[in-house]
Amino acid sequence: MIPTMVSGQSYYRMAAFCWHMRQHPRVEAVCSPFAFDHLEENPWERDYINKTELVYRHINDICEKSDVVVWQTLHYQYTLELFEEMRLKHQKPFLVETDDYLFDIPSTNIAYDTWRPGSSIRKVALSQIRQADGLIVSTPYLAGMYKDENPNIFVIPNSIDFQEWKHLGGRKHDRFRIGWVGGATHSSDLEMIAPALQEVLAKYKDAWFYCIHGVPNSFKTWKKTYWTHRWAPINLYPKFVASFKFDIGIAPLEDNNFNRGKSNLRWLEYSALKIPTVASPLPDFTRVIRHGETGFIARDLKDWKDYLSLLIEAEGLRRDIGQRAHAQIKSDFNVAKTARTYLRVLREVAQ
């Protein structure tokens, strides 16, 4: 597996699966080059310009020794040419992995200028996806969106390594905490539900909103709001999220084509900590969350206000939903199980 994205995405989409595949007999799985602390794209692509021979040997060695190679999407024409050379030279199945629909990013998203129509990175990704022997994606919606570019698609959902998330519960503190944690691309998603959040904070004197890492500027002046741009390397991330002791987790997403491809990862992470979630009605949330049992789906501002209020007032309901959600993801989104499914896919592709 050859990662190219930020460490968090490369961990969830490659490294975590890779490490669990190694536990199976007669399987050697490698995710390289990988590090825990890349906030931007993996630097090997940029290094290829200045350290061409060193990087070339490393990528060539991976491709030579593998039965199948999974790449994340590339960023540059010169690394696309490396991909093309390796595929021709080694005649192995080359798959491409992507966790987003890259060709319909909203103009309000900070990544739009990078991925706008006609951009070089868009051309590179499209060419790589079309040349690949197949795609690995995280949601059924993404599979549908990419089928015209490459019909050979496998859905491998994001999953939780419960060894990393265990023994992190406990939420005794002096205020009630509605929490969100995520990247800087979600400002418009949070701003969408701002009126409902503000009403809830005004209604309940002990309720605070905790906004972690990707904080919209408009939220920084709110009363009863704790915000920070702090982040943690992905290997420390579970403890980092748990340290804020959310009582409720929120997962708002605007309804657009890009967001419809998003996975249920935020619900997975909250549920790993037994935190009940209120989420937007986008495909990968409605597909898996059992409304009222393992989370709530909020379809408008009234729903956001009502479900947050209900969870604030009903401690037993918060506990029950958190526990049921935890049990559901342990059964259905456990990385040890998903890695076995992924391994079967790779074996079939390699035959």
Provide the token pair at 197. Answer: 């959040």
pLDDT at site 40: 87
CA dist., res. 267 & res. 210, Å (int): 16
Are 204 and 73 members of one domain? no
Are 180 and 317 members of one domain? yes
Nearest 5°: phi and psi at 176? -85, 130
Tokens 């995280």 map to which residue?
138
Q: Which helix (H) or strand (E) holds 249?
A: strand 248-251
CATH number at residue 258: 3.40.50.2000
Q: Is the pLDDT of residue 98 over 80?
A: yes
User: Average pLDDT in the 144-171 region?
Assistant: 93
Contact present, 329 and 270 (Cβ < 8 Å): no
Residue 60 domain-assigned (yes or no): yes
Are 181 and 87 members of one domain? no
Mean pLDDT (the chain, rounded):
96
Residues written for the chain: 351
Q: Is the pLDDT of residue 75 over 80?
A: yes
Neighbouring-strand partners of residue 249: 179, 277
Residue 2 domain-assigned (yes or no): no
Residue 145 domain-assigned (yes or no): yes
In 10 A of CB 130, how many CB atoms?
A: 11
Provide the token pair at 183. Answer: 């990247």
Are 142 and 169 members of one domain? no
Residue 38 domain-assigned (yes or no): yes
User: Average pLDDT in the 196-208 region?
Assistant: 97
CA dist., res. 187 & res. 218, Å (int): 9
Residue 264 domain-assigned (yes or no): yes
Tell me the pLDDT tens digit for each residue of 310-350: 999 999 999 999 999 999 999 999 999 999 999 999 999 99
Tell me the pLDDT tens digit for each residue of 214-231: 999 999 999 999 999 999
Tell me the pLDDT tens digit for each residue of 44-73: 999 998 888 999 999 999 999 999 999 999
Contact present, 184 and 166 (Cβ < 8 Å): no
Residue 192 domain-assigned (yes or no): yes
Are 270 and 122 members of one domain? no
Handedness of CA 342, 344, 345, 347 (dihedral sign): positive
Are 111 and 230 members of one domain? no
Are 339 and 318 members of one domain? no
CA dist., res. 124 & res. 79, Å (int): 9
For residue 171, name the pLDDT band (cuts at 50, 70, 90). Answer: low
Residue 1 domain-assigned (yes or no): no
User: Average pLDDT in the 26-44 region?
Assistant: 94
The share of the chain scoring above pLDDT 90, in percent, equals 93
Are 227 and 190 members of one domain? yes
Are 121 and 180 members of one domain? no
Residue 248 domain-assigned (yes or no): yes
What's the maximum distance between 2 C-alpha atoms anywhere in the chain? 65
The number of distinct structural domains making up the chain is 2
User: Average pLDDT in the 37-46 region?
Assistant: 92
Domain that includes residue 194, residue range: 163-332
Q: Which helix (H) or strand (E) holds 333?
A: none
CA dist., res. 177 & res. 151, Å (int): 44
Closest CA to 241 of 274, 283, 201, 264: 274
Are 227 and 280 members of one domain? yes
Q: Is the pLDDT of residue 246 over 80?
A: yes
pLDDT at site 51: 86
DSSP state of 73: P
Are 173 and 256 members of one domain? yes
Are 85 and 214 members of one domain? no
Handedness of CA 269, 238, 106, 98 (dihedral sign): negative
Angle between helices 194-203 and 301-313 (to 10 degrees): 30
Tokens 């590090």 map to which residue?
35
